[in-house]
Amino acid sequence: MGARLIDGKAQAAIVRAKVKVAAGELAARLGRPPCLAVVLVGADPASEVYVRNKVKLTKAVGMTSIERRLPETIDQATLDATLTDLNENEEVDGILLQMPIPAHLDTDRALSLIDPAKDVDGLTPISAGALVLGRAGLVPCTPQGAMILIQSVLGPDLSGRTAIVLGRSILVGKPLSLLLQSANATVTMAHSRSPDLPALCRSADILCAAVGRPELVRGDWIKPGAVVIDVGINRVIEEGRPRLIGDVAFGEAESVADAVTPVPGGVGPMTIACLLRNTVLAAARQAGEAIPHDL
Ligand SMILES: Nc1nc(=O)c2c([nH]1)NC[C@@H]1CN(c3ccc(C(=O)N[C@@H](CCC(=O)O)C(=O)O)cc3)C=[N+]21
C-alpha cells in the first residue's frame, strides 16, 4: 500500500539500451566490440548463475566476453598469472574477478593486480582512491546502480536531503556513501555498532540498507515519505522453498515510504547493467575515445 515501486528491471533495461548504442558506436571506432573478461575460480553454483547471466547480457548489448574458468585448487601464482595475462591482452577492455574466491587465495592481492583501467568492478585500490579523491575512475557497480535508482526518483541533485547508509563494506556501503555525498546529500554512514539505528534511520530522507541481515529494517525505522533502497539479497528457506529477501521488511516499508525498491527486481539487475556500462567506459578511456552517447 502507498509507496511507489522503484522498478530496477525497467531502469536496468534503460541503462542497457544506452550501453548498446554506446557499444555500437565504439565498436565502429575500435574495429571490434568492447570485451569483458570474467574470471571464475571454482564451481560455486551461485557464482555459476551470475557468470552465465553476465555473459548472456554482455552479448545482448553487442559486446563480447571471454571466460577464464580456473579449478578450485589453483595456487595464487596461477591466479596472478591469469590476471596479468588479461591485463596485457589488448583485446580485453574489462576484467571481473567473480567473488568470492576460495579461502586459500588472497583476494586483496588478486584485486590489486588488476589494471585499474580495466577494473570494471571498481574494486582496486586505485579505483577506490579515485572515488575518495573525487577523480574520474570506474565506480563499483552496485552502488552506482543504487544511485541511478535514487536519482530516478529524486533527480540528480540531492541538495538538502539527508541520507543514511547502513553497512560500511568496501563493495557497497563505503562507495555508496561517497556517491551520495558527491550528489550533495548529507550522509550518515551507519553500521552494526551505531547507537539507536532505528532513530538514526527515521531521520533520513534516503535510506539505503546494505548489511545482509534479512528484514532488519522495519516500518517504524522509516521516515514517512522517505526513499528506501534495499541492497540486501538474502537467500532464505520459507515453507520449504528458497526465497530472496532484502534487508528491509518490504510490506512494512511500503506503507510508510514514498518509494521503495523490491528484492528481487531492484538493485540486483542494476548491478549487472552498470557492469556493462563500466566495460564501455573502460574501453573508451583506454582507446582515448570520447565516451559515446549519454551514458
Ligand atoms: N566481482 C564480483 N562482482 C559482482 O558484482 C559480484 C560478485 N563478484 N559476486 C557476487 C555478487 C552478487 N551479484 C549480484 C548481481 C546481480 C544480482 C541480480 O540480478 N539479482 C536478481 C535476482 C537473481 C536471482 O533470482 O537469484 C534481482 O535482485 O532481481 C544479484 C547479485 C554480483 N556480485
Binding pocket residue ranges, ligand 1, CB within 6 Å: 50, 96-99, 121, 141, 233, 244, 263-265, 268-269, 271-272
DSSP sequence for 207-270: EEE-S--TT-B-GGGS-TT-EEEE---EEEEETTEEEEE-SB-HHHHHTT-SEE--SSSSHHHH
Which residues of the chain are in CATH 3.40.50.720 domains? 141-269
**The predicted structure's pLDDT at residue 229:** 98
- Cβ-contact 285, 27 below 8 angstroms: no
pLDDT tens string for the chain (295 positions)? 689 999 999 999 999 999 999 999 999 999 999 999 999 999 888 899 989 999 999 999 999 999 999 999 999 999 999 999 999 999 999 999 999 999 999 999 999 999 999 999 999 999 999 999 999 999 999 999 999 999 999 999 999 999 999 999 999 999 999 999 999 999 999 999 999 999 999 999 999 999 999 999 999 999 999 999 999 999 999 999 999 999 999 999 999 999 999 999 999 999 999 999 999 999 999 999 998 768 8
Residue 118 CA: distances (Å) to CA of 50, 68, 83, 86, 124: 20, 16, 11, 9, 10
The minimum-distance atom of ligand 1 relative to the CA of 123 is 1
**The predicted structure's pLDDT at residue 27:** 96
**The predicted structure's pLDDT at residue 1:** 66
Which residues of the chain are in CATH 3.40.50.10860 domains? 31-124
Going by alpha carbons, the residue nearest to atom 9 of ligand 1 is 99
CATH number, domain 31-124 = 3.40.50.10860
| Topology (CATH) of 141-269 | Rossmann fold (3.40.50)
Going by alpha carbons, the residue nearest to atom 3 of ligand 1 is 98
Going by alpha carbons, the residue nearest to atom 12 of ligand 1 is 50
